[in-house]
Structure 1
């Protein structure tokens, strides 16, 4: 479905070639592998697409390379013609590059993908409303007999960060901020406004309404973020409202909508029925189970949200992006 979305929006925006496809935090490379397979099925050749992956982990970049290229290439300290640290050719013949920073990716018309990327960026500021005004939640040494030697502490006065991030109309009692998210959004907005393209953001999040979502997981269970720091995964729900504020002056935005809304409006149900007509009997159960897992509001269908950033505002009034609106003529 994501591959179909990329092709649809790229075609609608004039289908410039080559299509530069950028993924932020590509994990094990599974999403990009699926997207490239769909683009090939829809008629794009290896020379029509160049792939650029933003990845900070050397180990994951090797995993992605094996999945997408089937071979390994050496780490490049000082590339002669770019800022990439790895370069190869995919199994279908497309050029693929790896970068540590988005700013290193070449400029040009680009379709950006970010799947569970922004929830991995650090939440470095947390604020709480008190009777005396907004205060920042800080971390201090705990010299008591508690379970660990760190504790949360409220600032005595407003901090410089509270003056920057707290808006006059804020209605929540507490919330977190990820300044690094603001940096990434600003870079995306600058590139899309100047060079054209779109960004599809897929993550667990909210539209600027949720409170106190910072938490830690260890061995697939909730874990005290201050206990044994460095041994657990830290995360917070993505604040799509905050992200949209970073780009609203430059781009038109859509969403967030739920994963269920997006996938069903992309035609996932019709895709399921086509697969069921031709699949083997033993595959039917897995297909139906996977569809329900992705779209059922009681499962993943509600918790994961999709947001999109785009330029070309007047164009999008008439032709909104696929997956983000309901065709009322079909209702």
Structure 2
């Protein structure tokens, strides 16, 4: 009785989610995998780790210092040797780890939340499940498992926006019984059939995804979008650029070193991207985040659906967050470009202002990952799974994974969630509030 008492004062929406969590217990309690075990993906050998550095040096020599956004784009998605293009960077053997890779409980909570909000809209079909930057496909796989468990995959399809040929191949191995690259007869460059029998498609951009009611997830996607950096000097903003470090002797040893410099004058981006009344000394703006937010808004308001954005970031008060990670350690982003992940904190205030500028869109959040997961029932899912485990080592592993997701000194506080709906859902939400977003409107 103690477990059920707190739910007596919850909304109808929360009660429905709890019932779904109880049904979910049958999904994985028998063969639980709290700690992920992955197939091995062979890394494509890069003959020259200095390839990207050479390309950047040549570009700077040809036209002068480049923006941080240009640098990020070259480092991350250079077709020949970009960081995301030819390697598996996730997991313990990679450079960083994400919430879905830690435990399946994360993906299960996302899936139950999506089903709950989909049902409020009247369970429309067909369903387009869309993930932006799906990594290894782990989150999509967990979502499909839960959707299949609740028998809601009828007339559903999975659409993955992924620019990396290497990662799209890894996603296909995880998600599909068969897949193949396509000819140029449509926007999708790869097609397949999932283990649950639904069609799966891969695209380079969100705009290429066909029309349909959309359940869209962007988990650790916006943090990888190229940022322009600006520094305020004597009341005006100068753009931070990247130049060759001519004083460094490392090139004689076959290495290339770069350095930050300030633009001498205002740049087109400093005139365009700096908001009026900006008081921070250091500002980072990702123009693509504005563009993609607008695309998400257009899709949701015209076709119906929901978008859930999950990332680490701030609410308009972040400053110098551009950094690099290699083997789970922070490293100099200007050293050995192409061998480490580049990232910058997401400005959720900028995302909110973009969505709020559209009167037909309803934006909720951001809330912390801890708030969202606990509100959606992670603690109860954890208790259900804990009761099925007899082995002490496995129980400790499950507990560690749970704590890693919600502890404030781990992922709980740093990661934020933002939800986007069509404004026509507002009256429904007045009766059945959106779970996870009731306590912190932006």
State if a TM-score over 0.5 links the two structures.
yes
The change in CA–CA distance for 1:260 and 1:146 in structure 2 (over 3 A counts) is: farther
Q: Does 1:84 align with 2:188?
A: yes
- 1:158 Cα deviation after fit: 2.2
Match of 2:385 among 275, 279, 282: 275
- 1:192 Cα deviation after fit: 0.9
Deviations 1:210-265 (A, max 9, x none): 11000112333222222232232111011111112222122221111111111000
Q: Does 1:309 align with 2:420?
A: yes
Distance 1:311 1:78 in 2: 33
Match of 2:437 among 301, 324, 330: 324
Report if aligned partners of 1:88, 1:95 keep a CA contact under 8 Å in 2. yes
Report if aligned partners of 2:214, 2:305 keep a CA contact under 8 Å in 1. yes
Q: Secondary structure at the match of 2:306?
A: strand
Distance 1:121 1:145 in 2: 29
Corresponding position of 1:143: 246
- 1:110 Cα deviation after fit: 0.4
Q: Does 1:50 align with 2:161?
A: no
Gaps (5+ residues) in structure 2?
A: 1-108, 251-255
Report if aligned partners of 1:244, 1:253 keep a CA contact under 8 Å in 2. yes
Distance 1:93 1:103 in 2: 25
- 1:269 Cα deviation after fit: 0.7
- 1:326 Cα deviation after fit: 4.5
Taking structure 2 as the reference length, the TM-score comes to 0.69
Distance 2:151 2:327 in 1: 43
- 1:142 Cα deviation after fit: 2.9
Match of 2:169 among 42, 62, 73: 62
Distance 2:431 2:270 in 1: 40
Corresponding position of 1:175: 283
Q: Secondary structure at the match of 1:256?
A: strand
Corresponding position of 2:369: 259
- 1:42 Cα deviation after fit: 1.8
Distance 2:395 2:326 in 1: 34
Q: Secondary structure at the match of 2:181?
A: coil
Corresponding position of 1:100: 204
Report if aligned partners of 1:265, 1:326 keep a CA contact under 8 Å in 2. no
- 1:107 Cα deviation after fit: 1.2
Aligned positions, number: 322
Distance 2:257 2:172 in 1: 41
Report if aligned partners of 1:265, 1:325 keep a CA contact under 8 Å in 2. no
Deviations 1:32-84 (A, max 9, x none): 11111111222314x3311111111122112111211133x2211223xx311
Distance 1:59 1:231 in 2: 15
Corresponding position of 2:348: 240
Deviations 1:148-185 (A, max 9, x none): 54221222232221121111222211111111111111
The change in CA–CA distance for 1:129 and 1:89 in structure 2 (over 3 A counts) is: same
Distance 1:117 1:182 in 2: 13
User: 167-176 or 259-268: which moved more?
Assistant: 167-176
Distance 1:152 1:57 in 2: 28
Q: Identify the structure with bigger relative contact order (alpha carbons < 8 Å, sequence gap 6+).
A: 2
Q: Secondary structure at the match of 1:70?
A: strand
Distance 1:241 1:146 in 2: 42
Report if aligned partners of 2:136, 2:170 keep a CA contact under 8 Å in 1. yes
Corresponding position of 1:202: 310
Corresponding position of 1:295: 406
Distance 2:231 2:196 in 1: 52
Q: Does 1:231 align with 2:339?
A: yes
Corresponding position of 1:10: 118
Q: Secondary structure at the match of 1:320?
A: coil
Distance 1:257 1:146 in 2: 47
Gaps (5+ residues) in structure 1?
A: none
Distance 1:57 1:157 in 2: 36
CA-atom RMSD, angstroms? 1.8
Q: Secondary structure at the match of 1:139?
A: strand
The change in CA–CA distance for 1:142 and 1:298 in structure 2 (over 3 A counts) is: closer
Report if aligned partners of 1:257, 1:305 keep a CA contact under 8 Å in 2. yes
Report if aligned partners of 2:231, 2:283 keep a CA contact under 8 Å in 1. yes
User: 234-243 or 278-287: which moved more?
Assistant: 278-287
Corresponding position of 1:110: 214
